[in-house]
Chain A
């Protein structure tokens, strides 16, 4: 960039900075760019007296914790971030945030943040500090030379992904993305079922009956907006009813009105049974049934049954391990809702995506929505329109803006790792992914990374993967970086999220020394480019997008009205993004799917258990666990903190003579780990469940060496219909060891069962008042405990039973 442009840039910034402090809010510029243009807000230690305002400002930016593109507002005082809240304006945040989002503050101020670039020449040598200048030249040498080069990131969307893809294509690199316990199947299948490019939107709030097959939309999947909607779903006048069908009690199952616990892999039978009963229902008269038939690959109803289980509640109950009365009741409820014209929605994903036939189950379940006429209807599944802007032009270069976070299947990963192992890899560049802990086979991965000629890792703190890299680079947190994202799923209309640096680098209190010298990943990539994009910072690209939106057709009637590009950009930054609620509906296209494989057979011998690895609501994929707030927050169902555990049914535990805290060996065909037992009444007797996220050797002073990593137990050689690992298809043996440990949990040492129904949690029948409810509960209690017949007029009735 020429010095002239440079100046222009500065003046534009100054201008923006000056007006920034007005009612809309403002933004602060990041201490990273090319060339370094720094605008550091001074910390109070060396701040002139007249500068101390004692007032706070709130800035909008994007969340790094959520994988759905959620927007946050951050409270800033004296350049330091003090509090994170959900952006109240933003469509998929609505002023809320996911449980651990606030821990991003601690990522920002983590005492173990990498202080500066570290480098080692040989894979066995020690890392030593180098300057960014040296680091840049190492990167440049490696990326500019010929060879096999890969860049690895989390699944990203929008400009963030556009830039990475651009960079990869210029540098002739391959881009791979990775996320833990991936729900690929659900993402891919919904797109095929509804014939769209983007994930559809679930109108939970307006639904009357939701039947969810494993989709943990109140837990570890989905934007926080779905939790918000669930609240409304529950407290609206006609209270909604939620069924959750899955082999482990997730957060959604816990909150559901009814949880049906199916054996893993058998859920499809219930979907078939529902389909069968729906298709026989005379009230169902709609052309969309054809869509379902296409998905199911059938012409007539009787073709539905392709397994040797007949489609009646009893047989399905037997096959799935669910009490058939409950299945009857489910069918009854669905038919009743149809009779009363209530809105039904069928969802699928989560656990269900971890079997060999995940694609089939997901497809069948989402297909049911066609039968009940719930597609593109209020209270049903809404097809998201595509974004108008598919790419932008920056200095003549096309930067794409994909709106979906596709991730690479394990099939691709497996090929990639083989290349590394063969020694043919020249460069691996990893941004903020703990590869070795997230893919089964840690040792193999560690060796494979070691074989690459050069490995570069970006991160905030050192983790097991970064530790193996030759060049370790400190990256900015989301609170310090420019970014641009497209929320996924969109909320029925197009929207873009913008992230900006909101806080400066923390300084040591007793001096002006910077605690760490980090840069934003995107800017390092830009910095490494020659040609048209050289000299730009990611902020410039974000501004370019803003300008593009301003000039686009859909700008009119959207969330921001502005008189100029700058004004518009300021508005976008103040509100955390841009969206246009006035977008016309789009209709689903022909489903591009045609499979039925309703039953996955997971072989389990008598003394074995199904293993369900899961993301705890608080631990998530483990990437926030460097922060003590996340580690020290109780998992909602077990209240466990700071550790991993194996959930085991109380009866099973009794049978195996296992008590809470006993350490057991969980042994799969591949490997085995040792974990303490949490005795859990809501785990099926034939199943054990283990959360992912810990078991890392090196992950800050807080998370290093804690717990065990259940990913190690998964057989990655068997892949499902989507070419992905079958997370929930492992069986394990449980072997008791002699050890026992005190589990760190919030819950006391007494099984938490209410001493009397109604205290402290009162449960009412529909329409009942609190007083009546208490009365009923107390009577039940007295009768149950003392055999009393207190309740005068009711005692007779009770006697009749």
Chain B
């Protein structure tokens, strides 16, 4: 284990603001590449709006494809924030501190991005107000509250509002620091955003209480968001592979798996890009990897339960679907890749401490997890549609079009772009949390292991 050093507040300020007060060399080239991707993406989206959904590879009976897969994927990723900032905060896992903001930020941006997808995938996105807002009072037309598509925006909207507030509340003290260290227009903006933060005890107290309250409020969201997304599928009796009662917990645990993995990926990047080795330390990775082993195993259990439940009925179309999903080329390749990347390789690595402490390995294994999780969503959504019910005559395949691939890739560039943009103007690691952790944390030897200890807040 790496030697811990006690850092001075000054050093913390300097190191953690190194991206905000100065521009790292890699910043503009990377932003240039991402920005190009974002622009290409937006052009493609406009092209699709202009021509119609004909430019996608969707067709009867596969009416939902890459867009919905990616939508579910980003909602899954968004669980990063809820897991790290709400669950870990309430359970007082001390090592969460340096990554709370990045996780929360990832939540906000992935939710924003996720919302793009159902919008884009609609045939007439310009009419979507119909769907979201009960505005047509004169004719008494209301949105259909029975539709999961109506619950989606409510659940996600709530989550997005909560996360944004959470992010902002935690940002206030750091905004004040930035306000004090900048000049000109920048200073003006930071001043407004800092809401007159002076750092007096009452303000600190309010800020901490707000944080804890928000965490508690977000707990139900932890359960609800991905449950509701899963109901988009689970309420549909027509589609084998969708109509499953275990979807809600299955989706939630899957989301935690991919969300936490995404946080780990991000932590690796933060260490490399801003050299925050002092704040994001191997023991953090170690702790997260242990958590992930548990989450991943639970999730795998659900995966197999779901398969077993469905086969138990011995329904001919159900069997045909599983045959496609697991044994038929090229789906069998996707299925194997999904198992390998979603569980076998990463968990296999994490069993070893040497791997858990190796940043590069953690980076690549968590990337693999999210490849696997994306494939999982694809494997749930598409084959069920391609083998819908007994109408073998209309069973079809699905091959996403370049437009869909570009837009999916765009979403990754877009989230990264937003994250980096944010990092340029605001500290990614909360300064006050870093300082607090200096105060509250110590280490203790338990047998041969050294574990981080928490002094109660």
Residue pair B390, A754 in contact (C-beta under 8 Å): yes
**B137 within 8 Å of A by Cβ?**
no
Q: Which residue of A749, A755, A785, A786 is within 8 Å of B390 (Cβ)?
A: A755
Residue pair A749, B391 in contact (C-beta under 8 Å): no
In the assembled complex, which residues on chain A have CB atoms less than 8 Å from the CB atom of B87? none
Complex alpha-carbon distance, A755 and B322, angstroms:
13
In the assembled complex, which residues on chain A have CB atoms less than 8 Å from the CB atom of B249? none
Complex alpha-carbon distance, A754 and B391, angstroms:
8
In the assembled complex, which residues on chain A have CB atoms less than 8 Å from the CB atom of B319? 785
Given A755-B316, A755-B320, A756-B316: A748 and B390 interface contact (C-beta under 8 Å):
no
Given A781-B316, A786-B314: A753 and B392 interface contact (C-beta under 8 Å):
yes
**A760 within 8 Å of B by Cβ?**
yes
Residue pair A754, B392 in contact (C-beta under 8 Å): yes
Residue of B317, B390, B392 with most partner-chain A CB within 10 A: B392
**A23 within 8 Å of B by Cβ?**
no
Query: What residue in chain A is nearest B314 (Cβ atoms)?
Result: A786
Complex alpha-carbon distance, A782 and B315, angstroms:
10
Complex alpha-carbon distance, A749 and B386, angstroms:
10
Complex alpha-carbon distance, A752 and B317, angstroms:
13
Q: Which residue of B390, B393, B396, B397 is within 8 Å of A759 (Cβ)?
A: B390
Count how many chain B residues have C-beta atoms less than 8 Å from C-beta atoms of the other chain: 13
**B203 within 8 Å of A by Cβ?**
no
**B42 within 8 Å of A by Cβ?**
no
- Min Cβ gap A630→B in Å is 22
**A747 within 8 Å of B by Cβ?**
yes
Complex alpha-carbon distance, A388 and B393, angstroms:
52
Complex alpha-carbon distance, A569 and B134, angstroms:
62
Query: What residue in chain B is nearest A782 (Cβ atoms)?
Result: B314
Complex alpha-carbon distance, A781 and B314, angstroms:
11
In the assembled complex, which residues on chain A have CB atoms less than 8 Å from the CB atom of B317? 755
Residue pair A752, B392 in contact (C-beta under 8 Å): yes
**B394 within 8 Å of A by Cβ?**
yes
Complex alpha-carbon distance, A540 and B400, angstroms:
63
**B395 within 8 Å of A by Cβ?**
yes
Complex alpha-carbon distance, A276 and B340, angstroms:
71
**A765 within 8 Å of B by Cβ?**
no
Complex alpha-carbon distance, A786 and B319, angstroms:
12
Complex alpha-carbon distance, A749 and B331, angstroms:
15
Residue pair B316, A748 in contact (C-beta under 8 Å): no
Query: What residue in chain B is nearest A639 (Cβ atoms)?
Result: B393
Complex alpha-carbon distance, A782 and B320, angstroms:
14
Query: What residue in chain B is nearest A751 (Cβ atoms)?
Result: B392
Residue pair B392, A755 in contact (C-beta under 8 Å): yes
Q: Which residue of B314, B320, B396 is within 8 Å of A748 (Cβ)?
A: B396
Q: Which residue of A748, A751, A782 is within 8 Å of B394 (Cβ)?
A: A748
In the assembled complex, which residues on chain B have CB atoms less than 8 Å from the CB atom of A754? 390, 392
Residue of A750, A751, A754 with most partner-chain B CB within 10 A: A750
Q: Mark A8-26, 1 if CB is under 8 A from B, else 0.
A: 0000000000000000000
Specify the main secondary structure of chain A where it touches its partner: loop
Query: What residue in chain A is nearest B318 (Cβ atoms)?
Result: A755
- Min Cβ gap B374→A in Å is 24
Q: Which residue of A749, A751, A781, A786 is within 8 Å of B396 (Cβ)?
A: A749
Complex alpha-carbon distance, A754 and B389, angstroms:
11
In the assembled complex, which residues on chain B have CB atoms less than 8 Å from the CB atom of A750? 392, 395-396
- Min Cβ gap A783→B in Å is 12
Query: What residue in chain B is nearest A754 (Cβ atoms)?
Result: B392
In the assembled complex, which residues on chain B have CB atoms less than 8 Å from the CB atom of A759? 316, 390
In the assembled complex, which residues on chain A have CB atoms less than 8 Å from the CB atom of B314? 782, 785-786
Query: What residue in chain A is nearest B61 (Cβ atoms)?
Result: A748
Residue pair B393, A752 in contact (C-beta under 8 Å): yes
Q: Mark B252-295, 1 if CB is under 8 A from A, else 0.
A: 00000000000000000000000000000000000000000000
In the assembled complex, which residues on chain A have CB atoms less than 8 Å from the CB atom of B320? 755
Residue pair A749, B397 in contact (C-beta under 8 Å): yes
Segment 390-439 of B: residues with Cβ below 8 Å from A? 390-397
Q: Mark B308-347, 1 if CB is under 8 A from A, else 0.
A: 0000001011011000000000000000000000000000
Residue pair A749, B392 in contact (C-beta under 8 Å): no
Residue of A753, A756, A785 with most partner-chain B CB within 10 A: A756
Segment 357-411 of B: residues with Cβ below 8 Å from A? 390-397
Complex alpha-carbon distance, A755 and B317, angstroms:
7
Residue pair B390, A756 in contact (C-beta under 8 Å): yes
In the assembled complex, which residues on chain A have CB atoms less than 8 Å from the CB atom of B390? 754-756, 759-760
- Min Cβ gap B239→A in Å is 15
Query: What residue in chain B is nearest A760 (Cβ atoms)?
Result: B390
- Min Cβ gap B423→A in Å is 47
Given A756-B390, A759-B390, A760-B390: A749 and B395 interface contact (C-beta under 8 Å):
yes
Q: Mark A738-766, 1 if CB is under 8 A from B, else 0.
A: 00000000011111111110011000000
Complex alpha-carbon distance, A759 and B316, angstroms:
10
In the assembled complex, which residues on chain B have CB atoms less than 8 Å from the CB atom of A749? 395-397
Q: Mark A782-796, 1 if CB is under 8 A from B, else 0.
A: 100110000000000
Complex alpha-carbon distance, A785 and B317, angstroms:
13
Query: What residue in chain B is nearest A750 (Cβ atoms)?
Result: B395
Complex alpha-carbon distance, A786 and B317, angstroms:
15
In the assembled complex, which residues on chain B have CB atoms less than 8 Å from the CB atom of A786? 314
- Min Cβ gap A700→B in Å is 24
Complex alpha-carbon distance, A752 and B390, angstroms:
10
- Min Cβ gap B59→A in Å is 10
Residue pair A760, B397 in contact (C-beta under 8 Å): no
Q: Which residue of A748, A781, A782, A785 is within 8 Å of B392 (Cβ)?
A: A748
Complex alpha-carbon distance, A756 and B393, angstroms:
13
- Min Cβ gap B328→A in Å is 10
Q: Mark A80-105, 1 if CB is under 8 A from B, else 0.
A: 00000000000000000000000000
Residue of B314, B317, B393, B396 with most partner-chain A CB within 10 A: B393
- Min Cβ gap A651→B in Å is 21
In the assembled complex, which residues on chain A have CB atoms less than 8 Å from the CB atom of B397? 749
Complex alpha-carbon distance, A747 and B396, angstroms:
9
Residue pair B395, A760 in contact (C-beta under 8 Å): no
In the assembled complex, which residues on chain A have CB atoms less than 8 Å from the CB atom of B316? 755-756, 759, 781, 785
- Min Cβ gap B8→A in Å is 67
Query: What residue in chain B is nearest A786 (Cβ atoms)?
Result: B314
Query: What residue in chain B is nearest A752 (Cβ atoms)?
Result: B393
10 example contacts (A-B, Cβ-Cβ < 8 A) are as follows A748-B394, A749-B396, A750-B392, A750-B395, A753-B392, A754-B390, A755-B317, A755-B390, A756-B390, A759-B390
5 interchain residue pairs of minimum CB distance? A755-B316, A756-B316, A752-B393, A750-B395, A748-B395
Name A residues whose Cβ lies closer than 8 Å to a Cβ of B: 747-756, 759-760, 781-782, 785-786
New A-B contacts (11) at CB < 8 Å, excluding given A751-B392, A755-B390: A748-B393, A748-B395, A749-B397, A750-B392, A750-B395, A750-B396, A752-B393, A755-B317, A755-B320, A755-B392, A760-B390
Name B residues whose Cβ lies closer than 8 Å to a Cβ of A: 314, 316-317, 319-320, 390-397
